Structure 1
Amino acid sequence: MAPGDVSEETWSDLQKAGEILSQVFDETIPRIEPEVSQFEIADFAETRIRDLDGSPAFPVNININEEASHAIPTPADESTFGDADLVTLDMGVHVNGWCSDAAVTIDLSGTHDELVAASDAALAAALRTIEAGVHTGTVGHSIEQAIRDRGFRPVVNLAGHGLGHYDAHTAPMLPNTGSDNGIELSEGDVLAVETFATTGRGRVTEGSDERIFRLDTDRPVRDRRSRKLLDTLRETRRNLPFTTRWYDISGLTMTVRNLENKGVLKSDPVLKAERGALVSQSEHTAIVTANGCTVTTR
């Protein structure tokens, strides 16, 4: 039975999105090995999502070592995985606009299992804490405690978040640290519960790469190419992120930059810890219930 005000139809879509994502993780993780193309992994995962009657909620993120979020390979990118890489695979699925979002970190070196265990333990602690009426700061405290108990730092300026209809980032925010700010969770809230543990200082900064975009302010535009792109985004993405390699539109790169400069589109730059630091991320999608939560992505 669907919790709170979630309709049975929405509940079905949320469950299907989670099931698809879980299956794609199971199929993709074994393919991540040294010397394998990063783009091939992203393309495989996105293709499988579509094969299973879902759509990517956002471009597949493949974050390496100090990268924490928003790193995506392109067809021209010849990067391969290294045998010392710490790889985070962050993926999402939507079904009729209702999203699942999950991430796992794979240690190809075999030497950072304690860091990965820290973010995993923090995620488990958060999921045990979540229920209707619990304050988001209490969830953040459980995350922080689990990470610090294992000798690492939480990333203080990254957080989990809500998942809305055709919207991959909504309220409430779930901090990685304890906080008096925030709100009480409500039955039926759909949450991307994500935890970040690092060997670094505990903060990330924006890098220069911008390969993920989303509609920010929908407004009329004059040129034909911009109108064509916006019509496509309104129909297929709404507020969900996209990347230019998904669309075969002439002059697309210039069109996207033009719309970004006008404030119509917004980019999500790569977020990184300091050089030499490592970041491990763990994530599941959970729906808040009266006495706990239902995880859709297991």
Structure 2
Amino acid sequence: MKKMNDDVLDTYISAGKLASVILRESAREIRAGGSFLELVESVEARVRESGADLAFPLNVSLNEDAAHDTAAPGDERVFAKGEVIKLDLGVQIDGYIADTATTVDLGNNALLLDASREALEAAIRIVKPGVTAGEIGAVIEKEITSRGYRPIANLTGHGLGQYIQHRDPTIPNIAINGGSVLEEGTAFAIEPFATTGSGRVGEKTRIEIYSQIAEKPVRIPSARAAMEKVRERHGLPFSRRWLDDKKMVLALPGLVRSGILHGYPVLADIPGSLVSQHEHTLIVTADGCIVTTR
């Protein structure tokens, strides 16, 4: 991989600073009884008002849900005492992404939050050229299991590129042999998940987030109108809540069946379990890394 040029690096850093500020502010605003939809819409509006854009809809995943939930149109959910709430925010400037997450505890789960947070910090400390993804996974797994929890084995960190949210290297949350070798100039996200459950997630039926994966002819007018908006995303994920016409929303399942869109089901561990997540975006440097989302 070529060394990252200064303009691209500066853009990554700018996106990261903005994401960090907005994520911290939004986490402080969560209270029992607060509106799920109002939180999501206010955070997304803050990103857009800053002159940046969203890399993906704000993910707000509750309790055993680990990823891919966001507010539905007219969502009436409110946050409740005892909940563990993951906020996963993606900010992009000219397609360069800052991906960062934190967990808010409305119960008594400090050690669970500590497990994913300290796993992330321990992983960051070893990042430099030549380190393997497997070595990072081993550090993450050790920090989480030492606190009595399980890492989620089938969720991973991931490389980032311009308008690309997931690419190599894949960063596991468990120890593996080998894996990708980090190189100077690599942009990627590390995102440990700690769980009281099984350590694996499965798909729920709920789908709120989609992305375009192919370009094909579309005949139905409402589907064509939806695709006009979707193409503006350059392949990055979007929420059905962002489509302001009911006919466009109703066209989404057909576009998935046609292989034009991909839907992202909510990913969850076993019912009754609790999951925490922390995430930062990093750029590998000659002797370590820059954490853009501090």
Q: Same fold (TM over 0.5)?
A: yes
C-alpha distance in structure 2 between counterparts of 1:95 and 1:154, whole Å: 31
1:128-185 Cα deviation digits (max 9, x unpaired)? 1111111111110010011111111110011000111112111111000111152101
1:77: Cα distance to partner?
A: 1.3
Structure 1 match to 2:244: 248
Aligned residue pairs total 294
Provide Cα deviations, 1:169-221, integer angstroms capped at 9, x if missing partner: 11111000111152101111111110001111111110010110001122233
Q: Deviations over 1:208-242 (max 9, x none)?
A: 101100011222333333333333322x2112100
Tell me which of 198, 204, 221 is aligned to 1:207.
Answer: 204
Aligned partner (choices 100, 112, 117) of residue 115 of structure 1: 112
1:282 partner amino acid = H
Residue 24 of structure 1: SS of its match in structure 2? helix
Mapped to 2, the partners of 1:81 and 1:225 lie a distance apart of 34
Q: How far apart are residue 260 of structure 1 and its match?
A: 0.5
Identity value in percent: 39
Q: Which residue of 2 aligns with 1:77?
A: 75
CA–CA separation in structure 2 for the residues paired with 1:163 and 1:22? 17
- Contact 1:24–1:48 under 8 Å retained in 2: yes
- Amino acid corresponding to residue 166 of structure 1 in structure 2: Y
1:191 is matched with 188
Q: Secondary structure at the match of 2:279?
A: strand
Question: Counterparts of 2:95 and 2:19 in 1: how far apart (Å)?
Answer: 14
**Contact residue 55 and residue 165 of structure 2 kept, 8 A:** yes
5 Å matches for 1:47-86? 47-86=45-84
Q: What is the 5 A alignment of 1:172-187?
A: 172-187=169-184
- Cα contact 1:187–1:289 (8 A) shared by 2: yes
The residue type paired with residue 209 of structure 1 is R
| Cα RMSD for the two superposed structures | 1.4
Q: Which residue of 2 aligns with 1:141?
A: 138
Corresponding position: 1:224 with 2:221: yes
Secondary structure in structure 2 of the residue aligned to 1:60: strand
- Cα distance in structure 1, aligned partners of 2:228 and 2:169: 29
Counterpart-to-counterpart distance in 1, 2:10 and 2:163: 16
TM-score for both structures, normalised by structure 2: 0.96
TM-score where L is the length of structure 1: 0.95
Which residue of structure 1 aligns with residue 284 of structure 2? 288
Partner of residue 162, structure 1? 159
The CA distance in 1 between the partners of 2:240 and 2:205, in whole Å, is 17
Structure 2 match to 1:297? 293
Q: Match for residue 16 of structure 2? A: 18
Among 108, 121, 126, the alignment partner of 2:123 is 126
State the one-letter code of the partner of 1:251: K
Which deviates further from its counterpart, 4-13 or 201-210? 4-13
Q: Contact (CA 8 Å) 2:135, 2:178: kept in 1 or not?
A: no
SS in 1 for 2:168: strand
Match of 1:270 among 249, 266, 271: 266
Q: Is contact 2:128-2:289 (8 Å) kept? A: yes
**CA distance in structure 2 between the partners assigned to 1:247 and 1:100 by the alignment:** 24
Equivalent position of 2:255 in the other structure: 259
Q: Is residue 4–residue 289 contact of structure 1 (8 Å, CA) maintained in 2?
A: no
Specify every segment of 5 or more residues in structure 2 that has no aligned partner in the other structure, as ranges.
none
CA distance 1:124–1:255, change in 2 (3 Å): same
Greater CA drift, 175-184 or 39-48: 175-184
CA distance in 1, matches of 2:50, 2:241: 21
Contact 1:131–1:289 (CA under 8 A) maintained in structure 2: yes
AA aligned opposite 2:80: G
Aligned-partner SS, 2:120:
helix
The CA deviation at 1:285 is 0.6
- Tell me how far 1:250 sits from its aligned partner: 5.5
